[in-house]
Amino acid sequence: MVIDGDGNILMNLGSLATIGHFAPNNLIHFALDNEMHASTGGQLTVSNTMRLEEVARAAGFRAAKKVSSIESLRTVAKKSSKFRGLVFCFSKNRKR
């Protein structure tokens, strides 16, 4: 399981391509979107115009889901633990 931020994913899109290439059968990648690069001072990202779940699908993730509530996140987490293949879950935490 990986917990990541939108800023990191956007600065390192090659990581999704590499994960998709090697395609481990047991990886769940959760992306928490706060629309900022927290590690560099809080600059805004472009995640509000990017569909990161579609980028993940294009990179080879077998399942990719955008969630907007804690209930949806829990449901995806439970289902993903039984799923074989790459799973990407994108959680929107704030709105501009």
- pLDDT at site 69: 84
DSSP-H helix ranges across 1-96? 6-11, 13-22, 52-59, 70-80
Residues of the chain with pLDDT under 70: 93-96
Query: Rounded to an integer, what distance in angstroms lies between the CA atom of residue 23 and that of residue 95?
Result: 32
Could you tell me the residue range of the domain that residue 14 belongs to? 2-92
- pLDDT at site 80: 79
- pLDDT at site 52: 92
Please state the pTM of the whole predicted model: 0.84
- pLDDT at site 24: 92
- pLDDT at site 77: 82
Structurally, the chain folds into a number of domains equal to 1
- pLDDT at site 83: 79
CATH code at 30?
3.40.50.970
- pLDDT at site 56: 95
